[in-house]
Amino acid sequence: MAHRRGGSLYRGIHSGACVSYLGNALLGLDLFLSTITGGRPGETLSGRAGSAYIQGKLRGKIFCPIIDWIMWAAGAYPSPHGHCLHAVRGDVLRARAVIKNQS
């Protein structure tokens, strides 16, 4: 099992070629799953949970802590809290990058 706080899996996922290929593939899967479950284009499952949490919706209060813990336990996020809220920002930044590239 990977180290949870800043461990090898976290560093491995967030370094070099791994980010560009594996990271993009996982992001694509995440976006696909979000889309087929009713999400907006470009919105990840984590981002949807984070947005719902911010809005005080029950599904956000349920799924946000679960996703946060899973991402921490898998070593993909350095803390058991905050992944979904951070994902909302990531969704916004990706959308802005697409808009900028189209201008």
- Mean pLDDT (the chain) is 83
Would you call 3 helix, strand, or coil by DSSP? coil
The alpha carbon dihedral of 84, 85, 86, 91 has a sign of positive
pLDDT at site 35: 93
pLDDT at site 82: 94
pLDDT digits (tens, 9 = 90+) for 17-45: 556 788 788 888 999 999 999 998 889 99
The alpha carbon dihedral of 8, 14, 73, 28 has a sign of negative
Q: How confident is the model at residue 101 (pLDDT cuts 50, 70, 90)?
A: confident
pLDDT digits (tens, 9 = 90+) for 30-88: 999 999 999 988 899 999 999 999 999 999 999 999 999 999 998 888 999 999 999 99
